[in-house]
């Protein structure tokens, strides 16, 4: 079985971004299963844009009580990671989409495979409603045992059981592992929580399954090959893991989501001044502000491709690409030329042509606290650490940082 999770953040501590050296101890390591689910370039882009709009909606309305339900797109037409999660005393298994951008865990998206209460199930009579931008689910809340692995078993976890859903096709539900604040307003009923409900990540820590609220996320570049390496999540102390090299640079967590402050430069020139945005495992491409994106496209010579919705460059232009540099916590995290392009082996998946080269970046309209999204394209090149105990996010180089598999 494949069992992932991610530790969320709800403590607010004041820290200073700084690198640390690796320790020799390690946490609990679990693999995650990768699926390539791209049907077109436009679906890929639209999914990310929908997600960005939903993040933006919550950011601009977070002080309005009836607008607090999280809003992220249901289907990421892209590269996804699925967890096989066991629920209840009978260990009924569900294939759940792993999402750091939402925080409710629920099952029942597949009408042919429904949740069956067992001796460990407790019905609360509360209603769960979660909006996901391009869809939503409505159902009832239970408390039950949820097993992410033999070592990561949660007692009395709040789960939603869908009575109606819209927008799900290839999964049984969602394993929500974003910050707990995103559950605010999603449980309705006479006995419902006034604000938030503990997520799977909260309960893993409070029930003693992990000793510190930290998770390391390791993705790898996607080549389309059947033997592509899978990703991995590490719970607890990430020190000593072979999934990263050198030092970890930490920076404070910003916003209700896993947000950070960064700047972006290309060819030695800053194209985005220091601003706040989101690090998101559920977004595939990198989304950068329109002005910064236009400066990047003008420098690379990219031409809009009508078939895919992305920008195409020639082989000669690819050979002349500079690094696209993300500066976080005073440290540069460059995306090499190969890391800036869509995997050429997957061109057909986005409606592109064999041998062509497409840039894996998209423009987005910036607002306060949501100026960019660092998606899978960035995270597949750097090991990321979501540290709830210290309210910070970390990054480190990996063996794939300079890979040329694209």
CA distance 209 to 156: 14
Among the listed residues 397, 393, 401, 362, the one whose alpha carbon sits nearest the alpha carbon of residue 42: 362
Domain boundary assignment for the chain: 27-215, 242-397
Of 57, 99, 144, 202, which is the active-site residue?
99
The pLDDT of residue 211? 86
CA distance 229 to 222: 8
* Known catalytic membership, residue 99: yes
Residue 236 near residue 210 (C-beta atoms within 8 A): yes
From first CA to last CA, the distance across the chain in angstroms is 29
List the pLDDT tens digit at each of the 406 positions of the chain: 333 332 222 222 222 333 333 333 346 766 676 667 666 677 778 777 777 777 777 666 654 333 333 333 334 345 677 778 999 999 999 988 878 888 899 999 887 888 999 999 999 989 999 876 556 789 999 999 999 888 889 999 999 999 988 777 678 988 887 888 888 888 988 766 667 889 888 888 899 888 888 888 888 887 666 666 777 878 888 888 889 999 999 999 998 888 999 999 999 999 999 999 999 887 889 999 999 999 999 999 999 999 999 999 999 999 999 999 999 999 999 999 999 999 998 898 889 999 999 999 999 998 888 999 999 899 999 999 988 888 999 999 999 999 999 9
Task: Give the per-residue SS3 of the chain.
Answer: CCCCCCCCCCCCCCCCCCEECCCCCCCEEEEEEEEECCCCHHHHHHHHHHHHHHHHHHHHHCCCHHHCCCECCCCCCCEEEEEEEEECCCCEEEEEEEECCCCCCEECCCCCCCCCCCCCCEEEEEEEEEECCCCEEEEEEEEEEEECCCCCEEEEEEEEEEEEEECCCCCCEEEECCCHHHHCCCEECCCCCCCCCCCHHHHHHHCCCCCCCEEEEECCCCCCCCCCCCEEEEECCCCCCCCCEEEEEEEECECCCCEEEEEEEECCEEEEEEEEEEECCCCCCEEEEHHHHHHHHHHHCCEECCCCCCEEECHHHHHCCCCEEEEECCEEEEECHHHHECCHHHHHHHCCCCCCEEECEEEECCECCECCEECHHHHCCEEEEEECCCCEEEEEECCCCCCCCC
- Whether 242-397 and 27-215 are alike in CATH topology: the answer is yes
* Known catalytic membership, residue 305: no
The pLDDT of residue 217? 87
* CATH superfamily membership of 242-397: Acid Proteases (2.40.70.10)
- pTM of structure: 0.83
In CATH terms, the fold of domain 27-215 is Cathepsin D, subunit A; domain 1 (2.40.70)
The pLDDT of residue 10? 25
List the beta bridge partners of residue 96: 83, 173
The pLDDT of residue 83? 79
Per DSSP bridges, beta strands 331-335 and 259-266 are unpaired
Of 172, 181, 202, 280, which is the active-site residue?
280
């Amino acid at each position: 079985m494949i069992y992932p999770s991610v530790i969320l953040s709800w403590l607010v501590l004041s820290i200073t971004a700084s690198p640390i050296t690796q320790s020799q101890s390690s946490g609990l390591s679990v693999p995650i299963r990768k699926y390539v689910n791209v049907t077109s370039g436009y679906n890929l882009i639209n999914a990310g844009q929908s997600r960005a709009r939903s993040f933006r909606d919550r950011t601009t309305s977070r002080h309005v009580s009836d607008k607090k339900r999280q809003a992220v797109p249901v289907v990421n037409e892209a590269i996804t990671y699925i967890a096989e999660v066991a629920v209840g005393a009978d260990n009924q298994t569900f294939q759940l989409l792993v999402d750091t951008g939402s925080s409710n865990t629920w099952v029942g998206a597949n009408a042919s495979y429904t949740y069956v209460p067992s001796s460990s199930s407790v019905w609360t009579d509360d209603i769960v409603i979660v909006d996901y931008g391009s869809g939503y689910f409505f159902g009832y809340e239970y408390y039950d045992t949820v097993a992410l692995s033999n070592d990561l078993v949660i007692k009395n976890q709040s789960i939603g059981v869908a009575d109606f859903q819209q927008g799900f096709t290839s999964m049984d539900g969602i394993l929500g592992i974003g910050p707990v604040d995103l559950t605010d307003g999603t449980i309705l009923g006479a006995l419902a929580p006034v604000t938030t409900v503990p997520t799977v990540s909260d309960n893993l820590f409070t029930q003693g399954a992990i000793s510190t609220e930290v998770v390391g996320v390791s993705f790898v570049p996607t080549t389309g090959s059947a033997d592509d390496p899978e990703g991995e999540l590490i719970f607890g102390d990430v020190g000593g893991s072979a999934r990263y090299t050198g030092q970890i640079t930490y920076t404070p967590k910003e916003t209700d989501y896993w947000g950070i402050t960064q700047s972006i430069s290309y060819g030695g020139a800053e194209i985005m001044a220091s601003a706040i945005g989101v690090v998101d495992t559920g977004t595939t491409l990198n989304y950068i502000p329109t002005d910064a994106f236009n400066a990047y496209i003008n420098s690379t010579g990219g031409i809009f491709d009508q078939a895919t919705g992305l920008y195409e460059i020639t082989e000669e232009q690819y050979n002349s690409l500079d690094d696209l540099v993300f500066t976080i916590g005073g440290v540069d995290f460059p995306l090499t030329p190969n890391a800036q392009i869509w995997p050429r082996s997957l061109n057909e998946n986005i409606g592109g042509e064999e041998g062509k080269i497409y840039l894996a970046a998209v423009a987005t309209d910036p607002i306060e606290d949501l100026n960019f999204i660092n998606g899978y394209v960035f995270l597949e090149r750097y090991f990321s650490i979501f540290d709830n105990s210290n309210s910070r996010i970390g990054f480190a180089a990996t063996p794939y940082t300079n890979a040329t598999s694209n």
